Amino acid sequence: MPPAALSREQVVERLMRAIRRFGYDGASLAELSKATGLGKSSLYHYFPAGKDDMVRAVLEHLESELEETLFAPLRARGPVRDRLERMVETLDEFYRGGREACVLGNLVLGTSRTRFRRQLASIFDQWIDALAAALVDGGVPASVARARAEDAVVRIEGALILAGAMNDIGYFGRGLKQLPSELLAPEPSRR
Amino acid sequence: MPPAALSREQVVERLMRAIRRFGYDGASLAELSKATGLGKSSLYHYFPAGKDDMVRAVLEHLESELEETLFAPLRARGPVRDRLERMVETLDEFYRGGREACVLGNLVLGTSRTRFRRQLASIFDQWIDALAAALVDGGVPASVARARAEDAVVRIEGALILAGAMNDIGYFGRGLKQLPSELLAPEPSRR
DNA sequence: GTCTATAATAGGATAGAC
DNA sequence: GTCTATCCTATTATAGAC
């Protein structure tokens, strides 16, 4: 009834919360309507093509949010160790210590697994690139940095799965805590 | 029409294939019917409680399959290195080199995330236990073995997510290949 | 820009014949 | 043990008033 109680951005954020929780297939329009407080018709006003439009908007929003809070800080000047610690803090907050699932992981599975692949791959790629750049700044050989960055992202995604399955956020917290040291370890000593 | 073309086990295997591909929410009865070649009513004959029954059967089947092909070999006598290499081969086959998603990961996400948690946690736990036992046999201190085993499972699950998102099975293959050496590395040298 | 109402379709589940 | 037919509900999507 009242004119635009929520900004588009707020709507998208609430959609993201629902999708990361229920997944693409599990997030019905009724659920998305409830999550945003908007009627179905209002959702179609914002996103004419329905759920797919909503997910695309969620991924666009997520991409710029991560660019701002995660990727840019990783590429910034300053002690590399601090940049990595900041990444860890940001992730810990974003995933609420391992309580929240990953939007990306959710969209890679189920019937949506190919539908948003370009956007998903792009986000993962930016993350890995930014992380690898930080590691190079930290003295890790370029040939090793990319592999380590990939491994870090792999472990974050995997830890969220295990934390969910075991109902134990320790799987996420412990892995996250070790990351900075492991990522910056001198070459021969790593494994 | 003809009497029992497929054994129950074969039916369950086909259900698993569908669920690992479409997830719990994405695997409709129509899809499961198509995947098994059985009409919906036939599925309800095997699984009176519907989809949940099917998933429980899939997880039971998976558990005994993994016990036989993965956990038991990890606990068996013989060179630890060989046991780990065998695990890697088994996993590479099971996930078709990274092309197939993980049933467990799929069921941890979406609306099924809590519904089968006991079974999911039990399977992950058995895997981690068997792997940790092998590492102890291989001279890894018991205090470290569990953490390394957890990390290995985390990385396998994470690698499958990345491989799917990036449409690049290398994320799975590369990680898998390094596992045995990393798991058995002498203490101080690991990260 | 939001709502209520409604249509069309897909999903889960069951009945009953063979 | 399998099928066809059917039922009910949920889901997606649209129309049209305000």
Which bases of strand D have any atom within 7 Å of the beta carbon of a protein residue?
1-5, 10-16
Question: pLDDT tens digits, residue range B65-112?
Answer: 999 999 999 999 999 999 999 999 999 999 999 999 999 999 999 999
Percent share of chain B, pLDDT over 90: 94
Q: Which two tokens stand for residue B151?
A: 């990390």
Q: For D2, which residue's CA is nearest its C1'?
A: B1
* pLDDT at A188 exceeding the cut of 90: no
Which residues does chain A have within 8 Å of residue B25's beta carbon, measured at their own beta carbons? Answer: 22-23, 25-26, 110
- Identify the sign of the CA torsion A59, A61, A67, A69: negative
Q: Tell whether B161 lies on the interface with A, counting CB pairs under 8 A.
A: yes
Q: What is the pLDDT of residue B187?
A: 76
Q: What is the pLDDT of residue A187?
A: 76
∠ CA A100-A173-A12, nearest 5°, is 25
CA-based radius of gyration for chain A: 18
- A124–B166: do the CB atoms touch at under 8 Å? yes
Which of B66, B57, B69, B71 shows the shortest CA–CA distance to B9? B57
Whether nucleic acid strand D comes within 7 Å of the CB of A40, the answer is yes
Q: How far apart are CA B157 and CA B105, in angstroms?
A: 7
Q: Are B19 and B58 a contacting pair, CB within 8 Å? A: yes
At residue B167, what are phi and psi to the nearest 5 degrees? 55, 45
Q: For D14, which residue's CA is nearest its C1'?
A: A41
| Burial of B168: CB neighbours in 10 Å, binned 0-12, 13-18, 19+ | middle
Closest nucleotide to B4 by C1' from CA: D1
- Round to a whole number and report the distance in Å from the CA of B41 to the C1' of D4: 10
Percent share of chain A, pLDDT over 90: 94
- B101–A124: do the CB atoms touch at under 8 Å? no
Q: How far is CA A99 from CA A77, A96, A102, B110, in A?
A: 31, 5, 10, 14
Q: Which two tokens stand for residue A150?
A: 């990939």
CB-CB: which of A104, A108, A110 is closest to B22? Answer: A110
Whether nucleic acid strand C comes within 7 Å of the CB of B41, the answer is yes
CB-CB: which of B150, B156, B165 is closest to A104? Answer: B165
Report the range of poorest mean pLDDT among A1-5, A106-110, B81-85: A1-5
Q: How far apart are CA A121 and CA A147, in angstroms?
A: 16
The angle that helices B142-166 and B170-184 make with each other, rounded to 10 degrees, is 170
DSSP for chain A, written as a single string: --S-SS-HHHHHHHHHHHHHHHHHHH--HHHHHHHHT--HHHHHHH-TTTHHHHHHHHHHHHHHHHIIIIIHHHHSSS-HHHHHHHHHHHHHHHTGGGTS--HHHHHHSGGGTTTTHHHHHHHHHHHHHHHHHHHHHTT--HHHHHHHHHHHHHHHHHHHHHHHHHT-THHHHHHHHHHHHHHHS-GGGB-
Q: What is the pLDDT of residue B1?
A: 42
3-class state of residue B58 by DSSP? helix
B5 pLDDT band (50/70/90 cuts)? confident
Closest nucleotide to B48 by C1' from CA: C13
* pLDDT at B41 exceeding the cut of 50: yes
Q: What is the mean pLDDT of residues B137-165?
A: 98
* pLDDT at A191 exceeding the cut of 50: no
